[in-house]
Amino acid sequence: MAATVFILNGPNLNLLGEREPEIYGREPLADIEARARSHAVSMDLEIDFRQSNHEGALIDAVHEARGKAVAVIVNAGGLTHTSVALLDALNAFDGIVVEVHLSNIHRREEFRHHSYVAAAATGSICGFGSHGYIMALDAVHNLLERASA
């Protein structure tokens, strides 16, 4: 049976492809999801892909991942820089956590340089656009392979 990975996307990511394409790219979230699903199949991973503009819904999804998923890949959007509650939920998840950002948050506005999510993350990927999701899946797969060896 395939291991499950939750991929969680935060506020405004439903607007990818439309909102500030010079920063976030022109690819809609549905296309990112399709690529992630296709890539995951080759590694025998199952994807539960979600997006919400509501902090509580993302926290609920992390809670749901407990006991169901081996990993959570999270692009928390603006909540990255503000949500201690999301950090607490991620800290309660006993699995791999990979933080993903389309843009390089460290080259942007000062307030974006701090990530609460990073404090719970096994690792962080930023600045590679939508390919960051593929990189995150590769990282999860590699960590799982090492753990089972």
Domains of the chain in start order, with CATH, are 3-148 (3.40.50.9100)
Determine which one of 101, 116, 133, 141 is catalytic: 101
Q: CA-CA distance, 3 to 17, in Å (whole number)? A: 30
Distant-in-sequence, close-in-space partners of 40: CB < 8 Å, separation ≥ 6: 5, 46, 47, 137
Q: Is 24 a catalytic residue?
A: yes
> Over the stretch 79-117, which tens digit does the pLDDT of each residue have?
999 999 999 999 999 999 999 999 998 887 787 778 999
Check residue 6 and give its pLDDT: 98
Determine which one of 24, 116, 133, 141 is catalytic: 24
Which amino acid does the sequence have at 140? V
Q: Is 133 a catalytic residue?
A: no
Q: CA-CA distance, 36 to 30, in Å (whole number)? A: 10
pLDDT-derived band at 78, boundaries 50, 70, 90:
very high
| Burial call 47-79: b when 16+ CB within 10 Å, e when fewer | bebbbbbebeebbebbeebeeebbbbbbbbbeb
Check residue 106 and give its pLDDT: 84
